[in-house]
Amino acid sequence: MARNPKITFIGAGSTVFMKNIVGDVLQRPALSGATIALMDINPQRLEESAVVVNKLIATLGVKAKAEIYSDQRKALAGADFVVVAFQIGGYEPCTVTDFEVPKKYGLRQTIADTLGVGGIMRALRTVPHLWKICEDMLAVCPEAIMLQYVNPMAINTWAITERYPTIKQIGLCHSVQGTAMELAHDLDLPYEEIRYRAAGINHMAFYLKFDHRQPDGSYRDLYPDLVRAYREGHAPKPGWNPRCPNKVRYEMLTRLGYFVTESSEHFAEYTPYFIKEGRPDLIEKYGIPLDEYPKRCIEQIEGWKRQAEAYRSADRIEVEQSKEYASSILNSVWTGEPSVIYGNVRNNGCITSLPFDCAAEVPCLVDASGIQPTYIGDLPPQLTALIRTNINVQELTVRALMSENREHIYHAAMMDPHTAAELDLDQIWSLVDDLIAAHGDWLPAWARKDGKSKAA
């Protein structure tokens, strides 16, 4: 009798996300008997997630079983796959700190979870916990594949590979397929008829090709249509969030010739062009949603309270296929049936114009041999140049974590395109000092010692 996989969720209290992944997994015949091990440090959220999983199992009529754990290593023991989704420090206090302290210096942000001073601080809080998962995996499930859904994705992926190179891991995001769906919608085309190839780094990958399949089987380049639709005011169409009109990415398309895979609200703070002191005209022209992430956090917390009650009282939980890659990866590794997904992995020469050791986002073939990144070659030079500005921040943050050298935290902030466009050196140093002090014990001890930077 064939063995069923064990899938461990670390941060299983991210219930809506966990529900989507488990729902996808249990609809695949080869995975429908899986053991779903749920681990979280929040007992209430963990119990709510267990309720959801058991109702999913009952609704789908499958033989899967759920187990709950408060002990991470026990949850990981014997796992075949490890799905990681958590936010260290949560909305309160840490996200609030990441936004409010920089504001005192006039530094405004939109999302602050990937780059900038907010992304740097989030990395310092998060990577040590990811490393602890790696330690436990080496002890109790060294062959398991880690599917890592945590931001800042690129820094996390890079830091895991640097310290635990034998861990099989991939960083997963839904921006590549999600944006392709948005663009198809903007052009009134069926997503199923779109062909694309993207590459870069997480949240700054670009569609190198974006084509539409014609009735005769040939393909037509859609980039001229996208530029025309933007210039004529037909695109972008209103999306799920009225605060985020998506104009930044279309504007960058007209400047770079390529469309970026992560949202306009993200992209506005990865570059020095859009959020500028004394330029409210830019904020208005491009519809840049300042303080967007805290607003979403509040909405999501409220939404979750309502959703939890609905799940608890429901007899059945209906399952729709999500756009996450996790179930495709698990199914391909488990059965050998190949699939192609986009993931974040050590570059290793896949993108020849980017550093060998950075975390690249590229198409990956997945089958019984695991996750195999594909070769891209050089990116267009203007894309390489822009991506490198973000890699500088990622690299210095990873160096800070690996060497426990506090100076590199300041260096990372100093290299951030948006921060450097707004603040002078003294302000940057002082801001980092204030963020470290405000975060306190959420940061590792080496980052907190010495009081002030000796370079200040």
* CB distance 14 to 86 below 8 Å: yes
pLDDT over 50 at 393, yes or no: yes
pLDDT over 50 at 455, yes or no: no
Is 54 a known ligand-binding residue?
no
pLDDT digits (tens, 9 = 90+) for 397-436: 999 999 999 999 999 999 999 999 999 999 999 999 999 9
Q: What is the 3-state secondary structure (H, E, C) of the chain?
A: CCCCCEEEEECCCCHHHHHHHHHHHHCCHHHCCCEEEEECCCHHHHHHHHHHHHHHHHHHCCCCEEEEECCHHHHHCCCCEEEECCCCCHHHHHHHHHHHHHHCCCCCCCCCCCCHHHHHHHHHHHHHHHHHHHHHHHHHCCCCEEEECCCCHHHHHHHHHHHCCCCEEEECCCHHHHHHHHHHHHCCCCHHHEEEEEEEECCEEEEEEEEEECCCCCEEECHHHHHHHHHCCCCCCCCCCCCCCCHHHHHHHHHHCCCECCCHHHHCCCCCCCCCCCCHHHHHHHCCCCCHHHHHHHHHHHHHHHHHHHHHHCCCCCCCCCCCCHHHHHHHHHHCCCEEEEEEEECCCCECCCCCCCEEEEEEEEECCEEEECCCECCCHHHHHHHHHHHHHHHHHHHHHHHCCCHHHHHHHHHCHHHHHHCCHHHHHHHHHHHHHHHHHHCCHHHHCCCCCCCC
d(CA 421, CA 275): 9
The contacts of residue 251 (CB under 8 Å, 6+ apart) are 230, 286
Q: How confident is the model at residue 452 (pLDDT cuts 50, 70, 90)?
A: low
Q: What percent of the chain has pLDDT over 90?
A: 91
Q: How confident is the model at residue 1 (pLDDT cuts 50, 70, 90)?
A: low
Give yes or no: 174 in active site: yes
Fold exhibited by the domain 6-172: LDH C-terminal domain-like (3.90.1820)
Catalytic residue among 129, 174, 185, 234: 174
Is 173 a known ligand-binding residue?
yes
pTM comes to 0.97
What mean pLDDT do residues 196-215 have? 98
Is 203 a known ligand-binding residue?
yes
pLDDT of amino acid 266? 97
pLDDT digits (tens, 9 = 90+) for 255-291: 999 999 999 999 999 999 999 999 999 999 999 999 9
CATH of domain 173-441: 3.90.1820.10
pLDDT over 50 at 16, yes or no: yes
Domain range summary for the chain, segments of one domain joined by +:
6-172, 173-441
pLDDT of amino acid 450? 66
